[in-house]
Amino acid sequence: MAKDEIQKSRRQFLVKTGLGLAGLALGNNLWAKGSGTTGTGQQKLTLGDGFSLKEKHPDLVVLSDKPWNIETPPHLLDDVITPANKLFVRNNGLIPENLDAKTWTLTIDGESVEKQTVFTLDDLKKKFKHHTYQLVHECAGNGRSEYSPPGHGNQWTTGGVGCCEWTGVRLRDVLEAAGIKKDAVYIGYYGRDKHLSGKDEVPISRGVPMRKALEDEALIAWAMNGQDIPVVHGYPLRVLFGGWPASTSGKWLTRIAIRNKIHDGAKMNGTDYRLPKNPIAPGAKITATNENMRIIEAMPVKSLITYPKTGAQLTEGKPLELRGHAWAGDRKIKEMHVSYDFGATWHKATVKSQRNRNCWQQWSAALKLPQKGYYEVWARATDSENVMQPMLVPAWNPGGYLNNACHRIAVEVV
């Protein structure tokens, strides 16, 4: 690594730990202040903006306001089930207004539907069995701020993830009721939100292959954490594909097309949610054709340290109690390790079993720190196929997707 590269990665690490130049001022609210180096001039939440942002925790960090993109500091993700007021927000267009659950309908159509069918929300609730699953939803761009050169888009640090409990009906049951032709390949969703331009363009319309669409956990949901879905998260109806890029989980859902080819809606092409098929050097140009790019499917293994908050002080002789979550797309977490000596030695953490598929798992550890001083604590998850999180940012890609590098915090023993 060239010297400026080393300085850059050091700087990025300091951003990640939330220390930055204020590194000595341990115990301050460093995350909320932001370091200013993550690219987007982090704002505190401002209220009264035409929709119900006031229901969000005031320490969430605004990455952009047109459209709204808001992330969660890691210590605020400590709950096993992410509460609505702490869930990150990612929008590609304008949040729709005048949403009426009573008149809401969902249309199933597309080349590969047997019979185009319209369901009211009431039909869905009455005709199909209800299911509840707790599902990880993570923006594929979560962690983007660490790529160099930067990927285009919101400069997410670690907070574009959450794991809420969703209640609704299986997408499979609904698709089967309309009838799935043999040549079905993919589904594509459509929502009610409008393009930022105000024109009649679709802001985003993505989907998943049939094999993911037909899984037990693929839901059409009307409730989040036992309540109506908040407007900003897709009221009154949303589709959910836990463990896959959250961009597949369409909000304000009005229509699902069963496609006889890979869905070709907005943000299914170019460098959007796609990776180079063959790895490329950081910053290298690539012609983003179907031959060169592949669509991101299950998200990679990842974890967060949600307690303590970075900057914590600890009295000498007391163990450092750590905890957080780990998740791995369609896989489970096999092991979790923590290190306080920059990865020289690793200590095994305890991992709880998975509540349901595509749900994150809780881990905890108690570390004995050898003496007074400054430590950086790293956490590393291993998935059920023995794939581990990398310590540094993984393969560069133009969209800045899938940074699953180890999360790190700073602590001081006094």
Q: Which residues bind ligand MTE (CB under 6 A)?
A: 87-93, 137, 139, 191, 193, 203-204, 233, 246-247, 249-252
Instruction: Provide, rounded to whole angstroms, the least separation between the CB of residue 36 and ligand MTE.
Output: 24
Provide the residue type at 351 as one letter.
V
CB nearer to ligand MTE: pick between 109 and 412: 109
Smaller CB separation from ligand MTE, 35 or 247? 247
CB of 175 to Mo ion, least distance (A): 24
250 binds, among ligand MTE, Mo ion, none (CB under 5 to 8 A by kind): ligand MTE
* Binding residues with Mo ion: total (CB under 5 A): 3
Tokens of 243: 């463990």
Which range binds Mo ion by CB under 5 A, 13-21, 86-94, 312-320, 344-352?
86-94
Radius of gyration in angstroms for the set of CA atoms belonging to the chain, rounded to a whole number: 21
Minimum distance of ligand MTE from residue 20's CB (angstroms): 26
First to last CA, the chain: 34
In this structure, what is the dihedral angle of CA atoms 329, 331, 336, 342, given to the nearest 10 degrees?
Answer: -50
- When CB distances are held under 5 to 8 angstroms depending on the partner's kind, the choice from Mo ion, ligand MTE, none that residue 89 binds is ligand MTE
Shorter beta-carbon distance to ligand MTE: residue 186 or 340: 186
- To the nearest whole angstrom, how small is the minimum distance from the Cβ of residue 186 to Mo ion? 19
Residue among 139, 184, 224, 411 that touches Mo ion (CB under 5 A): 139
Nearer CB in complex with ligand MTE: 35/155: 155
User: Among 173, 171, 186, which Cα is nearest to 110's?
Assistant: 186
Closest CB to ligand MTE: residue number: 191
Cβ proximity to ligand MTE: between 34 and 191 the closer is 191
Three-class SS string for the chain? CCHHHHHHHHHHHHHHHCCHHHCCCCCCCHHHHCCCCCCCCCEECCCCCCCCHHHCCCCCEEEEECCEEEECCHHHHCCCCCCHHHCCEECCCECCCCCCCCCCEEEEECCCECCCEEEEHHHHHHHCCEEEEEEEEECCCCCHHHCCCCCCCCCCCCCCEEEEEEEEEEHHHHHHHHCECCCCCEEEEEECCECCCCCCCCCCCCEEEHHHHCCCCCEEEEEECCEECCHHHCCCCEEECCCCEHHHCCCCEEEEEEECCCCCCCCCCCCCCEEECCCCCCCCCCCCCCCCEEECCCCCCEEEEEECCCCEEECCCCCEEEEEEEEECCECEEEEEEECECCCCCEECEECCCCCCCCCEEEEEEECCCCCEEEEEEEEEEECCCCECCCCCCCCCCCCCCCCCCEEEEEEEC
* Cβ 195 to ligand MTE shortest distance, Å: 10
Q: Which is nearer to ligand MTE, 205 or 339 (CB)?
A: 205
- Selected range binding Mo ion among 62-70, 241-249, 365-373, 378-386, rule: CB under 5 A: 241-249
Looking at 154, 247, 249, 303, which residue binds Mo ion (CB under 5 A)? 247
Q: Round to whole Å and give the CA distance between 360 and 366.
A: 20
- Whose Cβ is closer to ligand MTE: residue 87's or residue 295's? 87
Q: Which is nearer to ligand MTE, 375 or 401 (CB)?
A: 401
Comparing CA positions, the residue from 66, 59, 14 lying closest to residue 37 is 14
Shorter beta-carbon distance to ligand MTE: residue 137 or 325? 137
Q: Which is nearer to ligand MTE, 88 or 327 (CB)?
A: 88
243 binds, among Mo ion, ligand MTE, none (CB under 5 to 8 A by kind): none
**Closest approach of ligand MTE to the CB of residue 129, in Å:** 24
The residue sitting closest to Mo ion, measured at its beta carbon, is: 139
We find the least distance from the C-beta atom of residue 329 to Mo ion, in angstroms, to be: 15
Is 90 a binder of Mo ion (CB under 5 A)?
Answer: yes
| Beta carbon of residue 147, minimum distance to ligand MTE (angstroms, whole number) | 17
Please, what is the minimum distance in Å from the beta carbon of residue 283 to Mo ion? Answer: 23
Stretch touching Mo ion by CB under 5 A, among 116-124, 245-253, 336-344, 383-391 = 245-253
Token pair 């802001």 is found at: 203
With CB under 5 to 8 Å by kind, the binding choice for 93 among Mo ion, ligand MTE, none is ligand MTE
Q: How far from chain centre, in Å, is Cα 372?
A: 36
From residue 376, alpha-carbon distances to 16, 23, 78, 315 in Å are 11, 12, 19, 16
Residue 206 in contact with Mo ion, rule: CB under 5 A = no
Q: How far is the CB of 319 from ligand MTE (least distance, A)?
A: 35
Interacting residue ranges for Mo ion, rule: CB under 5 A: 90, 139, 247
